[in-house]
Every structure is written in C-alpha cells, then in structure tokens.
Amino acid sequence: MDCAEILKEIKELIFDVESKIEGKHRNEFDKLYDLIEDLEEHNRESEMQSESASNSDGRLRRMEEALKASEEHLRLVVTNANALIFIIDNNGIITLSEGKALNLFKIHPNQIVGISIFDIYDDIPKVKADIREALSGQMVNSILSIQDYTFETVYSPIKDAKDNVHGIVAIAIDITERIKLGKEKENLIRDLQLSNEKIYDDANRLIRLNDDLIVSEEKLKKTNEEKDKFISIISHDLRSPFAGILGISEGLLDYYDHLSEAEIKNKIELLNSTSQNLLELLENLLVWAKANRDQVAVNKVKIPLYKTVQANIELLINNAIEKRITINNAVQRNISVFADENMLNTVLRNLISNAIKFTNLGGEINLGTNCAFEKNRTEIYVCDNGVGIPTDVVENLFNINRKYTSLGTNKEKGTGLGLLICKEMIEKQNGRIWVESKVGEGTCFKFELNSVIEDNGFYEDE
C-alpha cells in the first residue's frame, strides 16, 4: 500500500471519529484533518514532480526528498495527536503505535510495534472480538474502560482497490472526562429531583400543619365561646332557681307562724318544683359539658328502634296523661339503628319531654320513621300539634350562643340545654338533627342515624 492510500485511510478514519466526538477533541481532530489534506496535496505534487522528472536523476532526488518530508510531516501529525493511533496487520501485529495518549500508560511511541495486539489484550475479550470483526471488513465503534480511563475506539479496515483487507487502523479517544461530567450531571439531576421531592414533601407537611393549626384555632375559638357560654349559664340560670329557693324558704321562716297550713303546703310545693328544675338543670349542664369536651365515649351497637322508642314513651307517659295527651308510636318494627344506647335514650327522652311540654291539653304526639333504603339511613321524627316555634327562633335553636327557653303550655319550665345535648349526641354518632315548625300548628324534631332492615319481619311486643 502506497503513501496516498495510507493518507486516504487515515483521513477517512479521522472523519468518522470526528463525527462521534465533541468539544475540545473535535478541534484537535479538525487540525489533524487539515494536516492530512495538506499532506495529500503535497503527495500529489510529489507524484506530479515524479512524472515530469522520470528521466532526470536530480528531479528524482527532489521527489524522494519531498516524499520523505511528507512522511515526516505525517509522522509529526500522528505523534502529536491527542489520541491512541494503531495500525495492525492481518495477523494482529502492531505496525504503528502513536499518539500523545500513550503517555497515559507510560508507553513510548512504537514501543509495542511488532507485538501481537491479541497478546496485549489477552485478558480483555471485547478488544479481541472488535479487532477480529474489523479484520473481517467491518467498521467497529466501541467504548471500553482500561485502568482508570474510558476510551471510544473506532476500528477501520485498510482495503485495497479490490476490497481486500490488509489490516486495520484504530483511533481511540479518551472520553473519561466526558463520562465523568455525564455522571456528575446525572447525579446533579438526581439530587435536584430528590431536593424537589423533599421540598414538595416539606411544602405538603407545612400545608397540613397549617390546616391543623387552622382547625385547632377554630376549635380553640369554639371552646372559648362555649366556655364563656357555660360560665354565663351557670352564673345566670343557676342564680334564678337558687334565688327562688332562698326567697320561698325565707318567707316560710319569717311568716311561718302566720301562714295557714294550705299556704305552707303551697310554698313547700314551690320549693319542691324549683328544686327539681334546679336538679334537672345541673344534670343537663353536666351531660352537655361532658359531651362537649369529648368525655363521653360512644359505644355504637345495633338497637331495635321500636322497642327503644316505646320504652322511653312509657317512662314519660304519666306526664302526658296529666295533660290528656296521646302519644302514638308508628316506628317501623323491623328497623334497627346503629347507635350508642345511652345517648339514643337521652335524645328520645329530651324530644318526647319537649313535645309533652309544648303540646296543648288533649293534644297528640306522633313518633315514626322514614327510611332511605339505598343509603342505609333512617329518619326518626317526634311531632306534636302544639304551639310551634317562631321562624327566627328555629334558625338558631341549636346554637349555643342563642339559647332559647320558654314556658310550656302548662307553665312548665325548661333549662334550654336539652336540644344542645341532643345535637351533640346525634352528631357524635355520625347523624344529624333538624327541626320543622309552624307557629300555632306544631313542631317536628327529626334526626337521622345509620340503620338496617331486619329480615325476620316484625319484633314482638314484650
């Protein structure tokens, strides 16, 4: 193979390698490519000079000198290229080893010339496989790590005009720094992703904390309002009955000798009635305070509704009889509700007692159910045909800051806390309570609880 063919092979290989590299290495190979073109031009000029001087010894010497200069120029270019450059014959023998990158392995140029490449890389099967593939006529591009360095290597077959392979040219570029920068970039991206995830998690945590603080603040505000109301109830509502008891008892003491037996009995009855109202108020205050402060545990069980309603009617039936009031239990008998039994009884007693209190003599009270089967919920109602409640009062009936109380149709007194207790207890059982009323026509208190329809039909009355 002559000089022109070698230059052509190296030029093509440099062009192929240059297309696969970037950065500072590309600039160096641009220079190398330009130098090879200069050498080709110089070689062509030498050939032309050779033709014109074929019959002249002087001209022949000048041609030989020019060729030597061209070869020296090529040697300088190859020696100073920042790469590993090898030429290997068909038997794997290294015929040229050049390039500044040889310094990385403390090898001098041509130090390994004449040695089989297969012996040098005996313990690296990939290199041997790549070389054999290139010797078969295929161009091979390979990335390989040797010691602490990573190289991208192009193996290019050297072919004659008949496409016969006479060896290969291998150019290896040190891409260690590029790989390192790539890994650093990947690590940076990963760190940024982790940082973003942490920022996102911290932001969500702060949002949750802020939401919790808002909820806590609202609860605290509500607690303070209820505490103030509780103090107001104690200071105002307890003062009146105590004042009444003191007034009646002082009257008895001061005028006992001047009072008739009937007058004394009347005052004792007043004392008893006032004391009972005071006791009811204290009990309601205690129940409401415990429920409001979450000191009442909720123990939900399945309760047969009809029998529970009937039991509470019977507890209060004497109060209804005194006012000739009829109480009807129209609750569907095969319904069970999921509720706390004590809380349910407290709610029913309060609502039935209220209905009796505000129903006129000879009136009627109806208890019943409306079932929302698709939701497994049951609406329980306690309706009377009594005096009714004004619209403006209905809107605030369950508001602790608007406690409402009035005398019953038979001058019965109330504490104003019964409905608040009902609301607290129903809501603690995941239910809801509301009221519908018209003045002069009556009132319906309704509440809703989770329920189930029993398959065994109706409960038998005990």
Backbone angles phi, psi at 337, to 5 degrees: -110, 155
Token duo for residue 381? 């109602």
Residues 66 and 76 in one domain: yes
For residue 308, the SS3 value is: helix
Euclidean distance between CA atoms 154 and 347, whole angstroms: 90
Q: E strands of 264-330, at which residues?
A: 300-304, 326-330
Residue 10: inside a domain = yes
Residue 232: inside a domain = no
Which residue in this structure is represented by tokens 């050297």?
A: 158
Residue 149: inside a domain = yes
Which pLDDT score is estimated for 351?
92
pLDDT tens digit string along 334-376? Answer: 999 999 888 898 899 889 988 998 898 999 999 999 986 567 8
Can you give the CATH number for the domain in which 331 is found? 3.30.565.10
Residue 30: inside a domain = yes
Residue 231: inside a domain = no
Residues 59 and 194 in one domain: no
Residues 339 and 407 in one domain: yes
Residues 382 and 452 in one domain: yes
Euclidean distance between CA atoms 151 and 171, whole angstroms: 10
pLDDT tens digit string along 105-151? Answer: 777 777 888 889 888 888 888 888 998 998 998 988 888 887 778 88
Which residue in this structure is represented by tokens 């001087």?
A: 53
Backbone angles phi, psi at 271, to 5 degrees: -60, -45
Residue 415: inside a domain = yes
Residues 70 and 151 in one domain: yes
Higher local confidence (pLDDT), 104 or 48: 104
Domain count of the chain? 4
Residues 321 and 277 in one domain: no
Does the structure show a pLDDT above 90 at 448?
A: yes
Does the structure show a pLDDT above 70 at 233?
A: no
pTM here is 0.45
Last residue of a domain, one of 295, 324, 341: 295
Higher local confidence (pLDDT), 296 or 454: 454
CA dist list (Å): 77 to 11, 159, 183, 258, 410: 12, 22, 33, 141, 121
Residues 164 and 15 in one domain: yes
DSSP for 200-254? HHHHHHHHHHHHHHHHHHHHHHHHHHHHHHHHHHHHHHTHHHHHHHHHHHHHHHH
Residues 447 and 377 in one domain: yes
Token duo for residue 67? 């060729």
* Per-residue exposure over 66-89, b if at least 16 CB sit within 10 Å of its own CB, e if not: bbeebeebbeebbeebbbbbbbbb
Higher local confidence (pLDDT), 216 or 416: 216
Which pLDDT score is estimated for 327?
94
- Average pLDDT score, the chain: 77
Residues 151 and 269 in one domain: no
Residue 169: inside a domain = yes
Q: Are 237 and 415 in contact (CB under 8 A)?
A: yes
Last residue of a domain, one of 226, 257, 287: 226
Residue 88: inside a domain = yes
Euclidean distance between CA atoms 123 and 181, whole angstroms: 29
Residue 385 is which amino acid? N
Euclidean distance between CA atoms 93 and 90, whole angstroms: 7
DSSP 116: B
pLDDT-based confidence at residue 449 (cuts at 50, 70, 90): very high
Residues 141 and 200 in one domain: no
Which residue in this structure is represented by tokens 């039994």?
A: 341
pLDDT-based confidence at residue 200 (cuts at 50, 70, 90): confident
What is the three-state SS of 30-79? Answer: HHHHHHHHHHHHHHHHHHHHHHHCCCCHHHHHHHHHHHHHHHHHHHHHHH
Backbone angles phi, psi at 390, to 5 degrees: -60, 150
Backbone angles phi, psi at 422, to 5 degrees: -60, -45
Residues 407 and 382 in one domain: yes
Q: How many CB atoms lie within 10 A of CB 440?
A: 8
The sign of the dihedral angle between the CA atoms of 207, 211, 216, 221 is positive
Which residues make beta-bridge pairs with 84? 172
Last residue of a domain, one of 295, 313, 343: 295
Q: What mean pLDDT is predicted for residues 160-186?
A: 84
Can you give the CATH number for the domain in which 29 is found? 3.30.450.20
Residues 185 and 48 in one domain: no
Which residue in this structure is represented by tokens 């109706």?
A: 458
Helices 239-255/261-292 angle, 10° precision: 160
Euclidean distance between CA atoms 311 and 326, whole angstroms: 15
Does the structure show a pLDDT above 90 at 416?
A: no
Domain coverage including residue 274: 238-295
